[in-house]
Structure 1
Amino acid sequence: MTYKVFVDGQEGTTGLRIHEYLAARGDIEVLRIDADKRKDAAERSRLLNAADVAFLCLPDVASREAAFMVNNSNTCLIDASTAHRTTPGWAFGLPELDRGQRTKIRGAKRIANPGCHASAFILAVRPLVDAGLLSPDALISATSITGYSGGGKSMIAQYEAASEPKLTSPRPYALGLTHKHLPEMMAHTGLKNAPVFMPIVGNFYKGLAVTVPLHLSQLRAGARPEDVQQALAAHYEGERFVRVLPLRDPATLEEGAFDVQACNDTNRVDLAVFGNDQQILLMARLDNLGKGASGAAVQAMNVHLGVDEGLGL
């Protein structure tokens, strides 16, 4: 069977990458909009309603507008913006979230693609909450370092022009403590309090790693680093796109540093636990353009269509 797919916002970073994933697919007919009609509402509406699956690679306001253009019961929307990630009626496009998530994605006609920082954070923290190791009331923090491609075309151009010395150093941002991924980071982990979250953009194209530091005293009484690693391993047993590293991963310790870019050009997430008898570092890394964006969107589409989940990835 051939499915018709339209990418609304096909010239953006996420849209372009989705097209790359779909290019070799024999089961996909890509519907394209003429360059001079990309802002033509009538033409966009026609293509959105002609598609079996439509990806919305747009700013939040435009994604909401596009969603209202769909007037049939067939088109499945997969929104890569922040607009619908905590909206009732929209399935969260993270199949590994829990055992029932694939069923929700399969049956949904509205799917919200997770954010890059949020995907790494949620995949690291949710198993601890589900296992009762971390209380939903916990007060925690997280740091995320990411490549500059996460800022889209304007930031990519800024970095690749290499005209500003300040861009050679890591740059913490979102210092108002209201990063747009925070609502989904809470909603899909079960945390009742927003983490103190510091994202940092670095002078490299792609790759992302979230670190959640925890005192063992913040966890269930008697919990050890082994319990945290085992909770992750149990939660993701059988998941092809999530790899739980051995406790205090020997390869990482031998290298002396955690490689932020080790998952680049894959749809994989690596989860790691480093710890002693007082503290742990809970870490997750992914390709911010792959599992953190376009790869996740295609994976959700595959789940929804009922085809092999890794097709094209």
Structure 2
Amino acid sequence: MATRVFVDGHEGTTGLRIHEYLIGRSDIDLLVIDSAKRKDAQERARLLNAADVVFLCLPDAAAKEAVALIENPATCVIDASTAHRTAPGWVFGLPELAADQRAKLRATKRIANPGCHASAFILAMRPLVDAGLVPMDAAITANSITGYSGGGKSMIAQYEAKEEDFDTKLLSPRPYALGLTHKHQPEMAAHSGLKHQPLFQPIVGPFYKGLTVSLPLHLSALKPGTTPEQIHAVLAARYSGERFIRVLPLRDAESLAGGFFDVQGCNDTNRVDLFVFASEQHAMVMARLDNLGKGASGAAVQSMNVHLGCDEALGL
């Protein structure tokens, strides 16, 4: 019997791509709301409770409202908003987070899909904290550059405006979240093992998708005697056998063959690439992903696959 799936908020960037991942799957029966009833609470409630799996691609407040409408204990909710990423009773939708994470995803009916910046940060940082190389109370700085699709429909419209309406300021990289309270910071700390939120500086660039988070580390601030080789070895050991995570060679020459790093190198995949670049005093750990794939819709579908017990890569 096919799994009944309802995407609440399928008109947005994340919801549309989830539909693209699922539309051709014979094991999925997609439930679609009539466009005229999109804001009809009764019809939404009917579909939310009729589904085996619900994806919430909504603002935080609307996601909480949708969860409140679900009375069917068998319905698994995968929430793509920020609302439940550190909430009790919700499992973080990052199968590679820890050895027991997949078991938790299979057992739960409440999954919080990670943010794109957070996924990259956590996958790069968590193994180093678990191994004791980065102290739990370390003061960590993280930088990110991402494509404009992460800003949703309104930002996409700005960047893809007609020439006569285009703001040329958008041609430059644009740092943002300068209030230093980016919405991904709580989950970055909660799921990386750090006691304090990182100082996080994101930048949006004039390209559609692709994301890289960089973690600059002073070797002197890490566990005494820590070397770049140890950092790389910890990451390689942690993700050995993970089909969606690649740890590239230390100081990967191929990635810098042209002198510059390719932020878009994981686009159109559900893959995360991890890099360690280093000098005698410093290490730069970098995580690269497609912010619409492993950073959003791909991650949600992967968590659904884990929860259902089917091939984790199905449809991806």
Q: Offset of 1:254 from its aligned partner? A: 1.6
User: In the alignment, what sits opposite 2:110?
Assistant: 110
Aligned positions of 1:1-313 closer than 5 A: 1-161=1-161, 163-313=166-316
Q: Offset of 1:283 from its aligned partner? A: 0.2
Counterpart CA distance in 1 for 2:296 and 2:192 is 19
Q: Offset of 1:145 from its aligned partner? A: 0.3
Counterpart CA distance in 2 for 1:276 and 1:210 is 19
Q: Offset of 1:42 from its aligned partner? A: 0.4
Counterpart CA distance in 2 for 1:27 and 1:255 is 44
Q: Offset of 1:36 from its aligned partner? A: 1.0
Q: Offset of 1:31 from its aligned partner? A: 0.0
Q: Offset of 1:255 from its aligned partner? A: 2.3
Question: Letter of the aligned partner of 2:11 in structure 1?
Answer: E
Question: Letter of the aligned partner of 1:53 in structure 2?
Answer: V
Counterpart CA distance in 2 for 1:121 and 1:263 is 16
Q: Offset of 1:259 from its aligned partner? A: 0.6
Counterpart CA distance in 2 for 1:115 and 1:218 is 28
* Root mean square deviation of aligned Cα: 0.6
Q: Offset of 1:253 from its aligned partner? A: 2.5
TM-score between both structures, scaled by the size of structure 1: 0.99
TM-score between both structures, scaled by the size of structure 2: 0.98
Count of residues in correspondence between the two structures: 313
Q: Offset of 1:256 from its aligned partner? A: 1.2
Tell me the secondary structure at the aligned position of residue 282 of structure 1. strand
Q: Offset of 1:115 from its aligned partner? A: 0.1
> What do the CA deviations read for 1:76-126 (whole angstroms, capped 9, x no partner)?
000000000000100000000010000000001000000000000000000
Counterpart CA distance in 2 for 1:74 and 1:115 is 25
Question: Letter of the aligned partner of 2:217 in structure 1?
Answer: L
> What do the CA deviations read for 1:26-83 (whole angstroms, capped 9, x no partner)?
0000000011111110000000000000000000000000001000111000000000
Structure 1 segments, 4+ long, off by >3 Å, are: none
Tell me the secondary structure at the aligned position of residue 198 of structure 1. strand
Question: Letter of the aligned partner of 1:146 in structure 2?
Answer: T
